[in-house]
Amino acid sequence: MKIIVIGAGLAGLTVAISLAQTGHDVIVLESAAEITYIGAGIQVSSNSSKILRSLGIDKHIRKYCTEPVDLRMMRWKGGEVLVECPLKKPALEEYGSPYWHIHRADFHRGLVARAAELGITIHLDSRVVKVEPDVPALTTKNGQQLTTDLIVASDGLHSTCREIVLGYKSPPVPTGQMVYRVTLPAKKLQGIPELEELITIPRNNHWIGPHGTILSYLLEGVNETLVNFVFTCDVNMEDGVNQKIGTNEDVREAFKNWDPRIDKMLSLVDKVLEWRLFTNDEIPTWTHPSSKMVLIGDAAHAMTPYLAQGAAMGIEDGAILGGILAQADYCTTKTLPQALKMYEKLRIKRTAMVAEASVSSRWFTQMEDGQKQRERDEWLLAHPGIWKGHINIRSRKEFLDELFGYDADKALNEELAAQRKERDAVTDKAEKRLVRLCSIL
């Protein structure tokens, strides 16, 4: 089939690769005039690294990945460790694929390199301004008109395609929170005794406090090792502004009573990126009634970042959609209605479950100090590591099995087998009815 993907973000490029790998003719339209890279890190858990490996993307990014040993949750004020949940070992031994930290720029570049290997054309400076999903066809801002067999809309959080698919507006909803993002060379912390510890072992350091958290982890940059910090707090930005460059003074003010190591680190920083956080309401369908246009990634299910799973879900979407459209029974324009129904069946429930877990993680980690917080901390101190029934979702065995243990290929094969069984049962029943009818006659 001829497939057009709108948007060259992490989800758009992954689905393009997944579709092209099975022989579809894919082009990507991207509104940005060049692929620029936002300076921040991203966590890639086993459920998504497994897919990146099976799509041949890992060879382009592997050398830029660090593998955190664990997730270490700490008290906001003094940095006392409350709980350490292993990440590296279970990722490799139980979930069969590594847990990575990588700079978004390197991740994106790796996806572009893999797309180029597969002959995918990415048209930059090609904002889609008109979509005719019944044809399906679209027009870019340059007046270029394109017809295709399927439109995969991966136009992100502020998607305009979402409204076209749904037939009503469903804008992203502000969460009331924002993040400050800071990335600096790790060597800047070297030789400072209280900060050096943050850069010696690759781990996921997570300070948890009232109405906010701080996350830090190491990144293997192109030229040097970097350390990435994400400060989450209640919104402290002017109305109407969603992203801007800030200064270290804003962050120092917002986090002034936190672990003193933070202020020390911030004194070494000059550039800060401010980012308002949004989420999407869950929607009942991701497919246009024509079955010729479908949503993917943040356009379908932007979620809060408290579990670091937004892109991972878009990557899973890409693997599943590509996997379905690779099947002989589902790879033509005639079978698109059934194919997209299966895609929704496999994706909507899972992404909603993860989005909900992400919100509950916000409330768990951002409690006000008081009785409930003291009880939480006592419990965490008494239950290090990963346990069944753990009160912390990031340490809860059964949840981690479901989240990180997800295998897109396996999930798809199980669904295909179930559908085949259902079809066989219907055929069997019809045949038996025919035999009975013949014997009566």
Ligand X SMILES: Cc1cc2nc3c(=O)[nH]c(=O)nc-3n(C[C@H](O)[C@H](O)[C@H](O)COP(=O)(O)OP(=O)(O)OC[C@H]3O[C@@H](n4cnc5c(N)ncnc54)[C@H](O)[C@@H]3O)c2cc1C
CB of 377 to ligand X, least distance (A): 25
Which residues of this protein are in contact with ligand X, per CB under 6 A?
6-12, 29-32, 42-43, 127-128, 154-157, 160, 179, 230, 275, 277, 297-298, 305, 308-312, 314
Q: Tell the smallest beta-carbon distance from residue 412 to ligand X (Å).
A: 20
Closest to ligand X by CB, 118 vs 416, is 118
- Alpha-carbon torsion (383, 387, 390, 393), positive or negative: positive
Structure tokens at 392: 């912390």
Nearest approach, Cβ of residue 249 and ligand X (Å): 20
Cα 299 to Cα 307: distance, rounded to the nearest angstrom: 18
Number of Cβ atoms within 10 Å of the Cβ of 187: 12
**First-last CA distance in the chain:** 47
* Helix, strand or coil, per DSSP, at residue 143: coil
**Please, what is the minimum distance in Å from the beta carbon of residue 374 to ligand X?**
29
- Which C-beta is closer to ligand X: that of 162 or that of 396? 162
Per DSSP, what are the bridge partners of residue 295? 153
Shortest spacing between CB 153 and ligand X, in angstroms: 9
Q: Which is nearer to ligand X, 310 or 330 (CB)?
A: 310
Rg (CA), the chain: 23
CB of 148 to ligand X, least distance (A): 14
Strand-pairing partners, residue 229, are 182, 216
Q: Which residues 6+ apart lie within 8 Å of 81 measured at CB?
A: 72, 73, 74
Q: With H, G, I as helix, E, B as strand and everything else as coil, classify residue 205.
A: strand
Q: How far is the CB of 273 from ligand X (least distance, A)?
A: 9
Closest to 301 measured CA to CA, from 292, 293, 310: 310
Q: At what angle do helices 336-365 and 408-440 cross, to 10 degrees?
A: 140
29 vs 319, beta carbon nearer ligand X: 29
**CB burial class (10 A; 0-12, 13-18, 19+) of residue 338?**
middle
| Residue 258 CB partners (closer than 8 Å, separation 6+) | 76, 77, 207, 209, 214
The residue among 109 and 127 lying less far from ligand X, judged by its C-beta, is 127
Nearer to ligand X, 98 or 297 (CB): 297
CA 24 to chain centre: 24
Nearer CB in complex with ligand X: 330/343: 343
Q: Could you tell me the smallest distance in angstroms from the CB atom of residue 29 to ligand X?
A: 5
Residue with Cβ nearer ligand X (111 or 377): 111
Which token pair is 106? Answer: 């390197």
- Going by C-alpha positions, the residue among 409, 319, 396 that lies closest to residue 90 is 396
